[in-house]
Amino acid sequence: MVSVAAPSRKKQAPKGAGEGGNALSRATLTPRQQQALDELGKDRLVQMHRRMFLVRSFEQRCEQMYQQRKIGGFLHLYMGEEAVGVGMLSAIEPDDYVTTSYRDHGIALARGIPPALLMAELFGRVTGVSRGKGGSMHFYSKQFNLLGGHGIVGGQVPVGLGAAFTAKYLSSGNVSLVFLGDGAVQQGTFHESLNIAALWRLPAIFVIENNQYGMGTAIDRASAVDDFTLKAPGYNMEGVCVDGMNLLDCYAVIKDAVARRRDEPSPLLIEAKTYRYRGHSISDPATYRTKDEIQRYQKVDPIQQMKGLLAELGWLGEAAAKALEKEVRDEVIDAVNFSDQSDEPDPSERTMHIFAE
């Protein structure tokens, strides 16, 4: 008889993953972080920092625009999770595929989609990235290989799997990055997709953005395990956990993984431990968690950590950081003005763009 022991319920988060983690500093960089730093260099790293700040500023402005009723419907904010999207998407190529959930603002911006096209989408304007018909949850761009923006929890996972199949079928060397929440791990689509990805050795990289909650439910009330990498061996797949508050770690984990998979495709499961600062959506005051908990994560805020490291390295001084922040805020204001001046889609478009030709 062979038996497999159940893992203990409480698993330690990796050092630095939010709770009690170390802030980035030159003296304590791990060899992997140092390697990422050397590889990226000053200009790229400042650009990545800028992009994280763009996500934050864009969403702060979204909150304001929602209050002014310029944005309606659902609005799920990504604030706090910026290092995951920006770190990981900085390590892939424009022709690789990206799929995500309704919490898609940060992923779309990290992919390089101009903020004006995204704000216009939120405003329901025809100039938006989905012609004003998708809204916050359904950003989609063929040009940027962003296959949504999906409102059904776990619905994006088989779509990303299909993209990985395409890459393998065409021998294109591309990979498919599939982002999903901790809540989506419990969905059947996740398990079916992991099985097929492993069985057919597809270049799918599944990234669980574990922000600790699915709507108002904490993961320990919804999941039998705390460590989602445990799901990987059940599908004969490699699994790795990464500090999702740390830009360098998020970049490094994808960079290594993708390089190995371009010639020899195989799937990978990544769990990024992260945190969302706001409630599930704009209408959720998030009273199910304490101020203390939020403050613990804010101490390892991804943007503040990177700002501190860049200052320490002499790569972004105080004045340059201020100028960068102003430039980004202005870019977001331009996006609002562009959206304000754009038209709504013509009613005749109602039934268009539903099926691909």
Ligand X SMILES: Cc1ncc(C[n+]2csc(CCOP(=O)(O)OP(=O)(O)O)c2C)c(N)n1
As separate numbers, helices (DSSP H) first and strands (DSSP E) second, the chain gives 10, 8
CA distance 251 to 68: 36
Please provide residue 153's backbone torsions phi and psi, each rounded to the nearest 5 degrees: -60, 120
Contact 103, 76 (CB under 8 A): yes
Only one of the segments 139-147, 153-161, 189-197, 206-214 lies at the binding site for Mg ion (rule: CB under 5 A); that segment is 206-214
In the complex, what is the shortest distance from the CB of residue 334 to Mg ion, in angstroms, rounded to a whole number?
A: 32
Residue type for position 32: R
Contact 37, 251 (CB under 8 A): no
Q: Which two tokens stand for residue 52?
A: 């994280």
In the complex, what is the shortest distance from the CB of residue 217 to ligand X, in angstroms, rounded to a whole number?
A: 8
153 contacts which partner out of ligand X, Mg ion, none, CB within 5 to 8 A by kind?
ligand X
CA distance 51 to 245: 15
In the complex, what is the shortest distance from the CB of residue 13 to ligand X, in angstroms, rounded to a whole number?
A: 16
* Near Mg ion by CB under 5 A: residue from 99, 145, 176, 211: 211
Q: Which is nearer to Mg ion, 149 or 214 (CB)?
A: 214
Q: Which is nearer to ligand X, 81 or 243 (CB)?
A: 81
56 contacts which partner out of Mg ion, ligand X, none, CB within 5 to 8 A by kind?
none
Site for Mg ion in 152-191 (CB under 5 A): 181-182
Please provide residue 309's backbone torsions phi and psi, each rounded to the nearest 5 degrees: -65, -40
CA distance 169 to 172: 8
Q: Which is nearer to Mg ion, 193 or 211 (CB)?
A: 211
The full DSSP string for 170-210 is TT----EEEEEEGGGGGSHHHHHHHHHHHHTT--EEEEEEE
152 contacts which partner out of ligand X, Mg ion, none, CB within 5 to 8 A by kind?
ligand X
Pick from 142, 164, 63: nearest CA to 105: 63
Interaction between residue 193 and Mg ion (CB under 5 A): no
In the complex, what is the shortest distance from the CB of residue 150 to ligand X, in angstroms, rounded to a whole number?
A: 9
Q: Which is nearer to ligand X, 139 or 213 (CB)?
A: 213
Size of the site for Mg ion (CB under 5 A): 4
CA distance 11 to 253: 21
Closest residue by beta carbon to ligand X: 181
Q: Contact residues for ligand X (CB under 6 A)?
A: 101, 103, 151-153, 181-184, 211, 213-215, 280
In the complex, what is the shortest distance from the CB of residue 194 to ligand X, in angstroms, rounded to a whole number?
A: 15
Q: Which is nearer to Mg ion, 40 or 208 (CB)?
A: 208
Q: Which is nearer to ligand X, 266 or 274 (CB)?
A: 274
113 contacts which partner out of Mg ion, ligand X, none, CB within 5 to 8 A by kind?
none
In the complex, what is the shortest distance from the CB of residue 219 to ligand X, in angstroms, rounded to a whole number?
A: 8
Q: Is 334 exposed, middle or buried (0-12, 13-18, 19+ CB in 10 A)?
A: middle
In the complex, what is the shortest distance from the CB of residue 53 to ligand X, in angstroms, rounded to a whole number?
A: 21
